[in-house]
Each structure stands twice: as structure tokens, then as C-alpha cells.
Amino acid sequence: MQTNSPQIYELISKYDNIVIGSHTNPDGDAVGSSLGLALCLAIMGKKPIVLLEDYSCKYSFIKGKEYIFKEDYDSLEPQLFISLDCSSPDRLGRAESVFKRAAETMCIDHHISNKNFADYNIVLADSSSTCEVVYDIIKNFCVLNESIAEALYTGIVSDTSAFKHKSTSPATLEAAARLISLGIDFSKIQTDVLYSHSKEQTAVFLKALGRYVIDGEICWSYLTKDEIINECKADYNDLDGISEYLLNFVGVSVSVFVYEKEDGTKKISMRSKELDISAVAVKYNGGGHKLAAGASITGSVDYAVETIVNEIKKELKKN
């Protein structure tokens, strides 16, 4: 489906009970697209319900938190479930069971690894962010206001790292310009989202950067759950930006950041300047974009690092 398809408006108009869900460990694009769409649906007279895990306090300025559902998910029987920024249903976490119970489902995303798992799929891999895709959709039938603009601009700025990533296109800049024209404090949003750090975030950054290793074109580091939670007094939302920073070393073309979740699973965050790392991610229960992807591995931290680094080395040799 295209973003201007009449089917989208018809489907949304058809239902009052609409649930919105996004991926676990929500980032700026997940939070911005979810709350931005919820605000739009509320203007249309709908009753949006947003399913989001706890997210970083740096996104607390985004309006629409009143739509976030805090009760038992088993009580939800949605007419329409809209999945945002998820390449597969399992990325919805606890909300996956709600998605499966919905009468109809829609997926709005920009990940190249998306599996088109919903009844209706709007997946634009060339878009900078899911917020850009949501903007392209709702501008056709919703009068945008400052609150919606703040939410969507946050996701675009977050996923493009202030428009520096190659996913930024003329359409991205046009969308950002339109959102800015609605009166948002775009400078403050950029500062709060990209450049402001709490003590906990600073602690995990220092810990991860203190043990970085450069192996040819690859730079990697890791953190255990004990280091994150007990030593640094941080949570998993505080890890944003570490893999991006590791990519900034001179001569490095791929970065890998491995961190241990509370259940012992090792999560891998990868960034690249040229190599398609989504091809690596899909081999290990993950996915994402060509230059930004993630995966999951069971086993020790050393095993996770060795496995992913060796896989990337194989891909680098092919290119």
C-alpha cells in the first residue's frame, strides 16, 4: 500500500477501537510515531490505545502519554491494531498477543527486513524513519498541530541523527520543514534528544568506551547486565547512541555493541558506513536497515562478540 491510498483512511475510519504498538526498548522513532499517530486519531474522534514499554525520559516532552495503556494487555480485544516501526510481530514484545487477537491489522514501517506480516502493510524502506512514513500518511486526512509535529519531528531527528544518515532524502527534509513550520522548538528537541545525557547515560558510555577494541575495520565493545544495572545504576534506555559513537573512530567502517539483557540474552546493535549489516542481523534473530541493524544471540558475551565480528569480517571480504 502507498501512503496516499484511500484504503488507509477507510480502514481507520471504519473503527473506533484502535490499538497502536511498537517495538521493545522503544527509541525516538517508536515513541514519536506511536504518540503522534495517537494524537491524530484522537482528533479524528477515535479512541486510541498505545502499547509501549517504558522509554527514556528524554522523550518525556512528547504529548499523548495519556493514551499509553498501563493495565492488563489480556483485557484488550482491538478492532484494528497498527504496528509501528516493527519488522516482525515478535518485536512487539508483550503486545504481540494483542496484535494476534485484532480483527484487522496494519503495519507501518521503514525497515528493509520487514516481513509484511500484517493484513495491510505500508513499508517504505527508503524512508528515513517510521515517523516520516506516518507523516506521509496522516497529512492526507489530519490537520497537523504542534503536538503531532513535535512527536514526528522527534522520530525523524532521532533516526537520522539530525539528518546526517544516508537515509535522509529531500522528502525527509521537506517533511521536517513542514513540521517546523507548525511552531515547534526544533532546536530544543534536537538538543534534548541527541546531546543531553543523564549521569547514568554518561556512566554506561564511559564503561563501554573504556574497553573498545578496533579489529581492522570493526570497532566493538560490550556491557554486562551487572555493569549496566548495578555498577552504572542505568537501564537499557540509557544505551542509546553507543554503537553510533563507536562508528566514529578513524578507519572504522562497522561498529558492534553487545549488551546483556536481564534474561541473559545478548543483544547486538550494529552500525555501518557502507556494508549492508541487515544481512548479518537476519541470520541471528534480527533485522533492520542496511546501515543500522540489531540481532540477538544466546550464550556468553565473548561468544556473541566473536560470532558477530567474524560474520561481519566474512561480509567485508565479499565487498
The model scores a pTM over 0.95: no
**pLDDT value of position 99:** 98
- Angle (deg, nearest 10), helices 170-180 and 146-160: 150
CA–CA dist 223, 242 (Å, integer): 11
Residues 6+ apart with CB under 8 A from 31: 22, 52, 55, 59, 62, 151, 154, 155
Q: Which amino acid is at 12?
A: I
**pLDDT value of position 98:** 98
Residues 6+ apart with CB under 8 A from 206: none
Run means of pLDDT, 10 residues per run, the chain, 319 residues:
88 95 94 98 96 94 97 96 95 96 97 92 96 97 96 97 93 98 97 93 96 97 97 92 95 97 94 94 88 93 96 92
Strand ordering across the sheet containing 104-109:
47-51, 17-22, 80-84, 104-109, 120-123
Residues 6+ apart with CB under 8 A from 48: 18, 19, 20, 37, 38, 41, 42, 67
Q: Which residues share a beta bridge with 123? A: 109
DSSP symbols for 29-75? HHHHHHHHHHHHHHHTT-EEEEE-----GGGTTSS-GGGB--S-GGG
Note whether 178 and 59 are within 8 A (CB).
no
Q: Residue 133: in which H helix or E strand, if any?
A: helix 130-138
Note whether 39 and 64 are within 8 A (CB).
yes
What do you get for the CA distance between the two ends of the chain, in Å?
Answer: 34
The distance from CA 71 to its chain's CA centroid, rounded to whole angstroms, is 23
* Domains assigned to the chain: 6-195 (3.90.1640.10), 199-318 (3.10.310.30)
